Amino acid sequence: MKRNILYRICGVLFSLSVLAACGLEAQEECLPCNGKLRYTELRLEGTPSAAGLEAPLYLFRRAAGTQDGYLFDRSYTSIADGETLKLPLAELKASDYRFLMVAQPQGREWLSLNTAAGTSFAPGVAWEDLRLECAAGGAAPEGYGGFTDMSGEAILRDGIIRLALTRIAGQVLFDIFRTGGSLSQPESIVSPDVKSVIDRVARIEITYENPTTALRFDENGTLVPAAYAPEPLTQTIEPRATDFRVALPQADRGLGVYDDGLRGSLRMEGAYLLPSDAQLRVKLRFSYYDTTPVCDNGHTEAHSPACFPLRQVALALPAADAGTGLPVGADCYTVNRVGLRCDRIIDIPVGGGIETNFDWQGNGKNAQL
């Protein structure tokens, strides 16, 4: 479900002598306050599910009433409910503001703020030059961002700033199931001896080519890709099997059930990734135990995995000759559906066909995580 944070900044103008010891200090020195400050109280509503988030606030300014670009001015340490923010009164009268917040798990930050040239994010950097970067290309579920614009005059008049935070990353999912001939005809596996479509699969390697490594805000305020990883990102899943059969779900390994009414169907959790503009290409490589033993039955006990050679079957999404890749949307699932005309994915090269497509979860629309 979509998780939003609503920051309400409510405040009353007090004299400096009364509130000199209060307020949330900026990381940089406070600008000259000319004897008066505006103190505002932040109220946190609808917190994300993850505890221990660091939520620094970045303040951009421009001259009031102009169309000048916003420049980064200063930042404030992580803000908790009930803390106060102080802004110089003279500055408020002369400025328009843009407030940006990026919230991440404390001690496990995976996004960094830099410039387009790769230099440190520092006062004076233009809004258009801001980049949110994740060098490795792999993202995480807990990471939220959002910004809002407000004039200093409006802050003085209303004393309320609303800032909504949205999950920055999206997740790739893979649904694999037997079909009666097309993806619109899903059905349960047929053989009573098969547990799931990934029976006999020992390892699944998912390779993501061209994952996004940096984001920028476009003219509409939407986060869009600004750079891509030169090397693929790889994810490995090893199903847990009993007698070469893989019972589902295995939540600890990212293996679930696509539809409880479809026996043997699989929903596999792919990586969390930064938003992509249809540049992403995915290859799934299934390493599986062949069905013919090479041990010559020279033992009395049951066959073990060592008795069977490992073979591989690969699947590209989208097809290699497709003109565009897969999109990834912020706070969305990108669902890739794979339909098999057989019970197991290992049977594709021998006795069946395959049909694939991708879609946004929920009838082709961006589905919220």
Phi, psi of 69 (to 5 degrees): -75, 150
Buried b (16+ CB within 10 A) or exposed e, 216-228: bbeeeeebebbbb
For residue 256, the model assigns a pLDDT of: 98
Question: What confidence category does residue 359 fall into, taking pLDDT thresholds of 50, 70 and 90?
Answer: low
**Structure confidence at residue 348 as a pLDDT band (50, 70, 90):** confident
Amino acid 25: pLDDT: 41
What local confidence, expressed as pLDDT, does residue 31 receive? 37
Q: Are strands 84-88 and 37-45 parallel, antiparallel or unpaired?
A: antiparallel
283-317 pLDDT tens trace? 999 999 998 888 877 777 888 888 999 999 999 99
Question: What per-residue confidence (pLDDT) applies to 47?
Answer: 53
Count of Cβ atoms closer than 10 Å to residue 153 Cβ? 15
Could you tell me the pLDDT band of residue 35, with boundaries at 50, 70 and 90? very low
Please tell me the predicted confidence (pLDDT) of residue 157: 83
pLDDT at position 1, please?
38
Rounded to an integer, the average pLDDT of 11-36 is 38
| Least confident among 11-20, 126-135, 143-152, 216-225 | 11-20
Q: Residue range 38-44: average pLDDT?
A: 60
Q: What is the mean pLDDT of the chain?
A: 83
Q: Which residues are paired to 84 by β-bridges?
A: 41
The whole model's pTM is what? 0.82
**What dihedral do alpha carbons 212, 105, 28, 164 form, nearest 10°?**
70
Mean pLDDT of 237-248: 97
Alpha-helix runs per DSSP H in the chain: 16-19, 89-94, 152-158, 348-351
How far apart are the C-alpha atoms of 281 and 211, rounded to whole Å?
Answer: 8
Per-residue confidence band for 21, with pLDDT thresholds at 50, 70 and 90: very low
Lowest mean pLDDT of 38-42, 302-306, 331-335, name the range. Answer: 38-42
Query: Phi, psi (5° rounding) for residue 234?
Result: -120, 135
Give the pLDDT score at 10. 33
- Report the pLDDT value the prediction gives residue 290, as an integer from 0 to 100: 92
Would you state the pLDDT for residue 158?
A: 79
Give the pLDDT band of residue 49 (cuts 50, 70, 90). low
Ranked by mean pLDDT, which of 3-12, 198-207, 271-280 comes out on top? Answer: 198-207
For the chain, give the percent of residues with pLDDT over 90: 58
Q: Is the predicted pLDDT of residue 352 greater than 70, yes or no? A: no
For 74-86, what is the mean pLDDT?
Answer: 79
What pLDDT was estimated at residue 280?
94
| Lowest mean pLDDT segment, chosen from 95-109, 151-165, 258-272 | 151-165
What contacts 57, CB < 8 A, 6 or more positions away? 75, 76, 79, 85, 99, 100, 101
pLDDT confidence bin for 269, thresholds 50/70/90? very high
Q: Tell me the pLDDT tens digit for each residue of 87-102.
A: 899 999 999 999 999 9
- Token reading at 322: 């497709």
